[in-house]
Amino acid sequence: MKTSVLAALLLAAAILPAAAQSGPTPQEQMACRGDAGKFCAEHVGKPPQMNACLRENKTKLSDACRKVVESHGG
């Protein structure tokens, strides 16, 4: 029984960070499409860099995109 509890804990530890780092929904992508192209075009196709760029430019973003960035910890 201890083995199955340990296995369940390890599995949960592996899944939770992945869920927390899930990418934006299609609606969130649409909310930020214009801002991403305007402020962060050089980072298209590079999600970590794009996310960092949007966070750095948060004060310049549209209201909809700013809400998306903030909802993802930015």
Express each pLDDT in 17-42 by its tens digit: 443 456 789 999 999 999 999 999 99
Cβ distance 34 to 64 under 8 Å? no
The whole domain housing 68 covers 26-72
Residue 11 belongs to some domain of the structure: no
Q: Tell me the average pLDDT across 1-21.
A: 41
Residue 4 belongs to some domain of the structure: no
- Alpha helices (runs of H) in the chain, residue ranges in sequence order: 2-20, 26-39, 47-56, 63-71
Residue 1 belongs to some domain of the structure: no
Write down the pTM of the prediction: 0.68
Helix axes 63-71, 26-39, angle to 10 degrees: 110
pLDDT level of residue 15 (50, 70, 90 thresholds):
very low
Whose tokens are 């929904």? That residue is 25
- Count of the separate structural domains present in the chain: 1
Provide the pLDDT for residue 33.
Answer: 95
Residue 16 belongs to some domain of the structure: no
Cβ distance 35 to 67 under 8 Å? no
- Rounded to whole angstroms, the Cα distance separating 68 from 60 reads 13
Residue 17 belongs to some domain of the structure: no
Cβ distance 24 to 32 under 8 Å? yes
Residue 51 belongs to some domain of the structure: yes
Residue 33 belongs to some domain of the structure: yes
